[in-house]
Amino acid sequence: MLLLSVFGILAASAVSSPVPDGYELETVAVLHRHGYRAPLETYPTDPHGNESIWSNGFGQLTNAGKSQMHEFGKWLRNRYDGFLPAIYNDRDVYAKATEISRDMMSAAALLSGLYEPTGTDVWNPDIKWQPIPVHATPLSEEHTLMTVEDCPKLTDLVTDLMNSDYVRGKFDKYSPTTSEISKNAGYEDNKIVESIWLYDVFLAQSLNDLDLPDWTGAFFPDPLHEMLAFLYRIHAHDKTMQRLACGPLLKEVLSNLDETVSGNSTYKMRVYSVHDQTIVDFLRCLDVDDEETLPPFAAAVLVELYRKRDDHFVAVKYKVKDELRDLQIPKCGDLCKLATLKESVKTVLPTDWHKECLP
């Protein structure tokens, strides 16, 4: 089974020491997408459109997703063991998720792999798990981990971009393909955006070993993957949009690094359980997005802070399945001075998000 083979690769992957010679790791931020889930929606001719197929309903974390996130927690333990103590301490790690079930459950599953009870943490010898808090902001107020709180300016900018010659030109190119998809999917007319989003439905179903209709083979994974990757870049298309879409999260991450440098934070790791759109936007804010791919389930960005003598450096890594990539910060490289990084991204950091969101 595909998922089991993925788990095997993940668990078996060798993890080298993350610390470069001469440097000392001080803290790490982990921004990860949630694990495998059920589709968010269905379509008129979907042979798997009955929600009862999914034990917890549409959009919810599957058992495979729980295992995937648990294994990712073990991967993090392997990578940072020795830096992050094996015995849980509330002063060492802070986990935060959007107030959406699959994100909160993914964070909990990750923490179960990161902190399997040992020593004084064992509270029941028959249960290899311990409760670790996951924090969340009320969804209506969330604008850091995802833009849920109303931001009229960002809404206007997205609408303007969707109606621009740039996007309309792309949609004209996609139209013959989405017309065929719409017809097969049972839509009454050519639903361009809805048809492109079917990539997500097909992916979730195929990862759960459900047979897709024969007609999908001409469109999935490509060209639908390319089309959806384009759609995902609209949300944080330019610097103004990035200030509103991903600037708040990047600002929080950098602020936390500053707190570590100043000695005002004891956290060795901060975990953020988010969505694929959040990952794309965050990479765009850092100007390291490749423009062409979508973050798979459990993809993660690692922001590592190092100290060398009296200076601090940041490394950004992108974990995709069993591959860990070093991301090159423009004009900075894969080990970037913290001061240089902050200077390079200052144009996408909002001063007052609520004020800047006004139309």
**pLDDT digits 0-9 by tens, 70-122:** 999 999 999 999 999 999 999 999 999 999 999 999 999 999 999 999 999 99
Tokens coding 172: 């004209």
285-299 pLDDT per residue, tens: 999 998 889 999 999
Does the active-site annotation cover 258? no
Show the beta-strand stretches assigned E in the chain. 24-33, 93-97, 269-274, 300-308, 311-320, 323-327, 336-337
Do residues 357 and 151 touch, judged by C-beta distance below 8 A?
A: yes
Going from the N-terminus, what domains does the chain have, and what CATH number goes with each?
A: 2-151+237-356 (3.40.50.1240), 155-232 (no CATH)
253-277 pLDDT per residue, tens: 999 999 999 999 999 999 999 999 9
Structure pTM? 0.94
DSSP character for 230?
H
Q: How confident is the model at residue 173 (pLDDT cuts 50, 70, 90)?
A: very high
Phi, psi of 332 (to 5 degrees): -140, -35
Q: How confident is the model at residue 200 (pLDDT cuts 50, 70, 90)?
A: very high
- The residues, any chain, with a CB within 8 Å of residue 323's CB and separated by 6 or more, are none
- The residues, any chain, with a CB within 8 Å of residue 327's CB and separated by 6 or more, are 283, 286, 288, 316, 317, 318, 334
DSSP string, 272-310: EEE-HHHHHHHHHHTT---SS--PPTT-EEEEEEEEETT
In the chain, what are the helix, strand and coil shares in percent, each to the nearest 5? 45, 15, 40
Instruction: Please give the residue that has the higher pLDDT: either 209 or 4.
Output: 209
Distances in Å between the Cα of 35 and the Cα atoms of 16, 123, 311 are 24, 27, 36
Q: How confident is the model at residue 125 (pLDDT cuts 50, 70, 90)?
A: very high
315 bridge partner residues: 304
Most distant pair of Cα atoms in the chain: their distance:
65
List of long-range contacts for 79-84, beta carbons under 8 Å, 24+ apart: 79/15, 79/18, 80/18, 80/25, 80/28, 80/268, 80/269, 83/18, 83/19, 83/25, 83/268, 84/114, 84/268, 84/269
Do residues 241 and 212 touch, judged by C-beta distance below 8 A?
A: no
Peptide bond before residue 221 is cis, with ω within 30 degrees of 0: yes
Does the active-site annotation cover 34? yes
Range from 2-6, 49-53, 280-284 carrying the lowest mean pLDDT? 2-6
Among residues 32, 34, 70, 235, the one annotated as catalytic is: 34
Among residues 276, 287, 322, 334, the one annotated as catalytic is: 276
237-252 burial, b if ≥16 CB within 10 A, otherwise e?
beebbbbbbbbbbbbb
Range from 14-23, 67-76, 127-136, 222-231 carrying the lowest mean pLDDT? 14-23
User: Per-residue pLDDT averaged across 221-229, rounded?
Assistant: 98
Q: How far apart are CA 239 and CA 347, in angstroms?
A: 7
Q: How confident is the model at residue 17 (pLDDT cuts 50, 70, 90)?
A: low
**Over 50: is that where the pLDDT of 34 sits?**
yes
